[in-house]
Structure 1
Amino acid sequence: MRILQLALPVSDVAQVGAYFSDVLQLPVDSDSVQIGWTRVQLRAAGSEPVGGVHLAFNVPANRFAAATDWLLARAPLQTNAKGEAHFTFGDAWASESIYFEGPDGLILELIGRRRLPASDLAGQFHGSELTCVSEVGLPVADVPALHARAEAVLGLKPLSPPTPHFAALGDDEGLLIVVDATRAWFPEQKVLPNARRIEVCVGELSLGELEDRDHGWRVVSG
């Protein structure tokens, strides 16, 4: 699955656009940010809450160390209760991650997935090497029910065995991270998930739509 477009509500379109341009070195055209094959459309949030939104960006696994050095020069990393900032995941994930806070309390992640193609680049990392938005966090009241709907409507299957509180639906290129709305985000576990007015357009799936009106988000395939 590929996340092709993402509508992201923000408190200040110009300020958040400047962050993506100046800090993450991504091309920004007015209210549009290009991250590899994903276009992020910044929208004024108005009175809607903006904190607690989770996004992950794919990085070629062989460039992850360089990407970590690049990010450390730009932003502090988030840590877990043990003070750890670098996380390696085995089994179905086959990846490593670092997390950092963006504007409006965005919980951002760089993730290197070992099953995806390596990069032929070397030397200093640049933000243009981010290949896509690969994860969007979506809070729900009932994770198993949403998982069942996603499989029936879009043909989405979990990357790893789901739990009653967490399901990663999709594959290495794109995941909907479906979480219990009362489960705080890893690694700090301080902020509850929010996806109010988030709209996601995905490709390479059956045509269809998922929507959670209670939590205000929508996913469209097509």
Structure 2
Amino acid sequence: MKVDELILYSQSVEKQKLFYRDVLEMEIIRDSKESVSFKAGRSIISFEYRKDAKPIHYALNIPSYQDTEALEWLQKRVEVIPYQDQPIVDFRNWNAKALYFYDADRNIVEFIARKNLDIRSASPFAADKLLCVSEIGIATSNIKDVYDRLNSLRELPVFDGNFDRFCAAGDEEGLFILVDVKKKKWFPADDDVYLTDFRVKGDFNFEFKNGEIKEL
């Protein structure tokens, strides 16, 4: 599953602009008073102003063997969120390693190195090594209903989990992380989960608003 653009909402577009441009050193591709967009490999991450914006979780794929380099790079710029006192989370059943941190809106951002993709890089890790948006968190009170709606738009295999509290649907290039708003908190910091609105463009084109999916 490919994500061309992920549009998130922000209470402070200017703070997000400063964070992604100056801290993460990501390239701005569109900029206005009410919105800003950044290049993330073949994906675009956009932020649009909304007074009542709530945090979300999303992930970016990085080269498959640069998790340690990415950690060193991140630690010079942000505070990495640890899990069990470790800065790199080893997802053995996914054959992947991940790092987590907050952006200026306290969205939980993840860099994930997926070994199964076997994407190599000979040059040092930097923002231009980000590959794509590969996970989008969706909070809901009924995982199966949301999954069925997504699957009606386009065939969407279950990657991991079930319809009780956590379900990852898609593939290693793009996953929807479906979580039950009453049973699950965001990993790894146990942050509260909100029914956070967003829009996505790519293999799937829809708006998630007030817990409902509207095809674009």
Work out the CA distance in 2 between the residues paired with 1:53 and 1:78. Answer: 15
Corresponding residue for residue 104 of structure 2: 103
Could you tell me the TM-score, scaled by structure 1's length? 0.86
- Closer, same or farther: CA 113–13 of 1 in aligned 2, 3 Å: same
- The residue correspondences of 1:1-222 to structure 2 (distance < 5 A) are 1-29=1-29, 30=31, 31-46=36-51, 48-50=52-54, 52-80=55-83, 82-91=84-93, 93-122=94-123, 124-182=124-182, 183-196=184-197, 198-203=198-203, 213-215=209-211
Q: Does the CA-based 8 Å contact 1:138-1:217 persist in structure 2?
A: no
Could you tell me which runs of 5 or more consecutive residues in structure 2 were left unpaired when the two chains were aligned. Answer: none
- For residues 149-176 of structure 1, the C-alpha deviation after alignment (integer angstroms, 9 at most, x for no partner) is 3223310111124241111111111111
Q: Does the CA-based 8 Å contact 1:9-1:43 persist in structure 2?
A: yes
- For residues 44-64 of structure 1, the C-alpha deviation after alignment (integer angstroms, 9 at most, x for no partner) is 112x233x3111110111112
Work out the CA distance in 2 between the residues paired with 1:137 and 1:103. Answer: 18
The runs of at least 4 consecutive aligned structure 1 residues that moved more than 6 Å come to none
Could you tell me which runs of 5 or more consecutive residues in structure 1 were left unpaired when the two chains were aligned. Answer: none
What RMSD in Å do the two structures reach over aligned CA positions?
Answer: 2.0
Identity %: 24
Q: Which amino acid aligns with 1:146?
A: V
Per-residue deviation, 1:18: 1.8
Q: Which amino acid aligns with 2:149?
A: R
Q: Does the CA-based 8 Å contact 2:199-2:206 persist in structure 1?
A: no
Q: Which amino acid aligns with 2:81?
A: Q
Q: Does the CA-based 8 Å contact 2:71-2:88 persist in structure 1?
A: no
Q: Does the CA-based 8 Å contact 1:201-1:219 persist in structure 2?
A: no
Work out the CA distance in 1 between the residues paired with 2:40 and 2:206. Answer: 23
Work out the CA distance in 2 between the residues paired with 1:219 and 1:84. Answer: 40
Q: Does the CA-based 8 Å contact 2:140-2:195 persist in structure 1?
A: no
Q: Which amino acid aligns with 1:131?
A: L
Q: Which amino acid aligns with 1:71?
A: L
Aligned residues: 210
Q: Does the CA-based 8 Å contact 1:56-1:109 persist in structure 2?
A: yes
Q: Does the CA-based 8 Å contact 1:78-1:85 persist in structure 2?
A: yes
Q: Which amino acid aligns with 1:103?
A: A
Q: Does the CA-based 8 Å contact 2:200-2:206 persist in structure 1?
A: no
Could you tell me the TM-score, scaled by structure 2's length? 0.88
Q: After alignment, is 145-154 or 130-139 more displaced?
A: 145-154
Q: Which amino acid aligns with 2:77?
A: R
Work out the CA distance in 2 between the residues paired with 1:114 and 1:179. Answer: 24
